[in-house]
């Protein structure tokens, strides 16, 4: 069609004397589209989690004053009371001067019973449905440390097999954590005592940190976390085991609400074989320090350049 013809056609269109009808059509069309949009949005009425205005405008953890924190903790406690009927206390223990936590795990002793996995889940109020676990125990063939041939979902009766060894892996609390670098909003950071934490109220849920972690240590709440009331641990830390939201990241925090008070992390307390050792790396007399100095230890995926503070050893 030439330009001339097109112009003719357009003039013809323009001459059609039907502005009123086209307006009526237009209004009807607009009404239909608006109604369809409203219907499309209707699933939002059943939203499982709707942030309150306070939640929405809450600032980054590091920008909160002590007053703000007090108010927020009280509000959270009230909300937990309402939702679960449990009187919880939310604490916010700060890193202790001169303390840097480290973990040592003796692969020569671990029998792969996965007691640590469940103790961790109970201590840290992870979602039970769908189940979130911070620790993953790899069943490895003797004579290799090839992760790709390891078994992740071995049945319970396959624990303590003679021709295998077991390697529990959780957050390695790296000195150079890649997860922190990639976070677009600094919702995750390394504390002074070396623990990498997440602000559950600041995370936008992009999961870039999950992609960047070489240890598959981060967990995302794809669904709204579900915990039966009787399973809720009321001793909560703001940056560790308080109930999480839908759509945010979480991870192992070395049970900071316990360890910063001088207790041991739950995984270590429950271990029946004594494979797990936890302590202050900066204290020359600490058990972990002695093991690292005296035993032959290694870190997982050294080539990733993450400098973990989680050491493995094959001791008797």
Partner 1 sequence: MNKGSPGVISDLAKTILIGNRTYALWMFALIALSLLGLNAFSRQLAHGLYTTGMGDEVSWGLYISNFAFLVGMAAAAVMMVIPAYIFKDEEIHKVVIFTELWAIAALIMCLLFVTADIGRPDRLWHMFPVIGVFNWPMSMLTWDVLVLNGYLFLNLYVCGYVLYKKYKGQKLVARHYVPIVFLAIAWAPLIHTITAFLFQGLAARPFWHSGLIAPRFLASAFSAGPAFIILVFKIMEYFKCCTIHKDVIAKIRIIVTVSLLVNLLLFGSELFTELYSGSEHSIHLSFLLGFHGKSVLAPWIWSAVVLNIIAAIILLLPVRENPRFLNVACVMIVVGIWVEKGLGFVISGFIPTPLGDFVQYQPSLNELTVCFGILAFGLLIYTALLKIAVPIINGQLCHRKNDN
Instruction: Identify residues 122-141 at the interface with partner 1 (CB under 8 A).
Output: 130, 136, 138
Nearer to partner 1, 22 or 83 (CB): 22
The least CB distance from residue 94 to partner 1, in Å, is 21
Instruction: Compare residues 32 and 74 and give the one whose CB is closer to partner 1.
Output: 32
- Positions in 234-253 near partner 1 (CB under 8 A): 245-249
Q: Is 27 in the site for partner 1 (CB under 8 A)?
A: no
- Per CB under 8 A, 207 contacts partner 1: yes
By CB under 8 A, residue 26 contacts partner 1: yes
20 binds partner 1 (CB under 8 A): no
CB of 303 to partner 1, least distance (A): 8
Site for partner 1 in 130-189 (CB under 8 A): 130, 136, 138, 146-150, 152, 169, 178, 181-187
Site membership for partner 1, residue 219 (CB under 8 A): yes
Asked if 213 is part of the footprint of partner 1 (rule: CB under 8 A), the reply reads yes
One of 12, 15, 17, 42 touching partner 1 (CB under 8 A): 42
For 131, phi and psi rounded to 5 degrees?
A: -75, 130
Q: How far is the CB of 150 from partner 1 (least distance, A)?
A: 5
Q: With contacts defined by CB under 8 A, how many residues of the chain interact with partner 1?
A: 74
Among 10, 81, 158, 263, binds partner 1 (CB under 8 A): 10
Residue 12 touches partner 1, criterion: CB under 8 A: no
């Amino acid at each position: 069609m030439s330009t001339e013809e097109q112009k003719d056609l357009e003039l013809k269109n323009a001459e059609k004397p039907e502005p009123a009808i086209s307006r009526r059509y237009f209004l009807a069309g607009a009404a239909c589209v608006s109604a369809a949009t409203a219907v499309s949005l209707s699933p939002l009425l059943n939203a499982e989690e709707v942030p309150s205005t306070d939640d929405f405008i809450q600032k980054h953890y590091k920008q909160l004053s002590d007053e703000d924190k007090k108010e927020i903790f009280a509000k959270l406690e009230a909300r937990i009371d309402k939702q679960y009927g449990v009187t919880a206390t939310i604490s916010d223990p700060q890193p202790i001067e001169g303390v840097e936590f480290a973990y040592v795990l003796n692969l020569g002793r671990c029998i792969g019973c996965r007691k640590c996995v469940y103790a961790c889940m109970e201590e840290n109020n992870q979602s039970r449905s769908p189940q979130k676990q911070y620790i993953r125990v790899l069943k490895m063939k003797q004579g290799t440390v090839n992760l790709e041939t390891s078994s992740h979902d071995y049945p319970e009766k396959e624990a303590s097999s003679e021709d295998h060894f077991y390697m529990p892996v959780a957050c390695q609390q790296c000195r150079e954590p890649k997860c922190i670098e990639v976070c677009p909003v600094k919702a995750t950071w390394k504390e002074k005592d070396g623990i990498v934490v997440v602000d559950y109220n600041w995370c936008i849920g992009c999961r870039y940190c999950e992609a960047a972690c070489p240890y598959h240590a981060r967990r995302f709440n794809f669904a709204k976390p579900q915990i039966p009331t009787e399973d809720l641990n009321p001793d909560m830390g703001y940056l560790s085991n308080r109930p999480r939201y839908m759509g945010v990241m979480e991870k192992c925090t070395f049970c900071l609400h316990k360890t910063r008070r001088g207790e041991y992390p739950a995984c270590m307390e429950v271990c029946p074989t004594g494979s797990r050792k936890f302590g202050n790396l900066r204290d020359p007399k600490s058990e972990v320090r002695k093991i690292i100095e005296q035993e032959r230890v290694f870190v997982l995926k050294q080539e990733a350049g993450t400098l973990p503070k989680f050491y493995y050893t094959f001791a008797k």
